[in-house]
Structure 1
């Protein structure tokens, strides 16, 4: 909570080397996860507990494949500097990671010169703090700019998501309509098949009727022939009867 009192931990200036490193090692995992070496190294270089070679090795070694490993290796190098290495690390945390500093030491951070150990001259410390604050302000502005870009990107993506959802809804509607039309088409195809069957049946009946008509015509023709012959024969037979 804001304004909450942080209990004061032990005075770091009065702690010996082993006590300081025991405090750091107890929080080694937390420090390794929370610290970016590139942020602390300028101060550690300023107070001469790390060299340029150390910096290159920490930041460029191929065996250190992630930030946690680089931070852990930096702690190992600082351990070789004894008490000064521990004090410089904690002072760096107080400047750049005040929340983490409080978690590790139990003390409230302060940038008052009197709170520093004397590893760096007051004039150099003031100059460094000014550069640090300027750098933090620059990082903050860059973070805000990046947040603005990310916000615009998020708005753009949200707009695209809404469009995609609208297209998906339209696609579902079209799919439903397509399924309805497919069912209607299947029904029409069944009707067409039924009509074809009926047409085929009518054609068969029509063919049978034609054949039947042809047979009747043939029979009628035969009957007409028979009738004609009968009519021709009938007068002769009448004449013979008269002769007798």
Structure 2
């Protein structure tokens, strides 16, 4: 078995250094990239350009230990880093297509959208197929957004109807509250009158009792006077 000579080792070391240098720009913006990119957007292009395989894609999109989009984006960067120069180039092409502002941030260059890797791999037919798929995805997304918009508008109309109904109910409630207030005032007024009548009746009863007592005293006094007169006449 032949053993690689020093020249091969030196060449491989140079390649690794170049790859690390390339990825330094990406790693320096890792926090922003992880928070900004949606891995599900990038993986179809990355797979078609053979920068990742199906297993890589499943891990990034479906692994239970990657619950958030930020976690999944970070894992995608880690996997691409292991792919060396190819991972770097294809990743930048995917950024150029889906996130041109991030592409400009990482590379300092304006996007050109040449898709060189996919053209090399599958020719212009492959690029056309990819772009057609992206157009179909956008159409489906637009349909989904239109449907969502219709649902939102329907919900808005429903809420508006409920708002009007609540306004009517509020007016009705205020009317009942006003009627209740007036009835309470009337009841309180009648209660005051009833108390006054009761007081008058009590005073009348007391006066009647007093007069009855005075009458009885007068009858007794009259009888005593009659007896006294009779006694005087008998003399």
Bucket of the pairwise TM-score, normalised by the shorter protein: 0.7 to 0.9
The answer for the alignment partner of 2:208 in structure 1 is 206
The answer for the alignment partner of 1:84 in structure 2 is 86
Q: How does 1:91-110 map to 2 (within 5 A)?
A: 91-110=93-112
Q: What's the TM-score, normalizing by structure 2?
A: 0.75
Normalized per residue, the structure richer in helix is: 2
Change (3 A) 1:23 1:175: farther
The answer for the alignment partner of 1:47 in structure 2 is 49
What value does the CA root-mean-square deviation take over the aligned residues?
3.1
> Do structure 1's residue 148 and structure 2's residue 136 form an aligned pair?
no
Q: Is the 8 A contact 1:49 1:88 kept in 2?
A: yes
Task: Give the drift of 1:94.
Answer: 2.8
Moved more, 196-205 or 137-146: 196-205
Moved more, 135-144 or 99-108: 99-108
Matching residue within 32, 35, 50 for 1:33: 35
Moved more, 165-174 or 193-202: 165-174
Task: Give the drift of 1:225.
Answer: 5.3
Structure 2 SS opposite 1:118: helix
Matching residue within 157, 164, 167 for 2:166: 164
Q: State which structure, 1 or 2, has the greater radius of gyration over its C-alpha atoms.
A: 1
Task: Give the drift of 1:95.
Answer: 2.8
How many correspondences in the alignment? 218
Q: Is the 8 A contact 1:40 1:92 kept in 2?
A: yes
Task: Give the drift of 1:24.
Answer: 2.3
Change (3 A) 1:210 1:100: farther
Moved more, 81-90 or 177-186: 177-186
Q: Is the 8 A contact 2:90 2:117 kept in 1?
A: no
CA distance in 2 between partners of 1:186 and 1:60 (Å):
73
Matching residue within 218, 221, 233 for 2:220: 218
CA distance in 2 between partners of 1:101 and 1:169 (Å):
59
Q: Is the 8 A contact 1:87 1:117 kept in 2?
A: no
Task: Give the drift of 1:185.
Answer: 3.8
The answer for the alignment partner of 2:7 in structure 1 is none
Q: How does 1:47-86 map to 2 (within 5 A)?
A: 47-86=49-88
Structure 1 SS opposite 2:194: helix
Q: What's the TM-score, normalizing by structure 1?
A: 0.73
Q: Which consecutive unaligned segments of at least 5 residues does structure 1 have? A: 1-15, 238-244
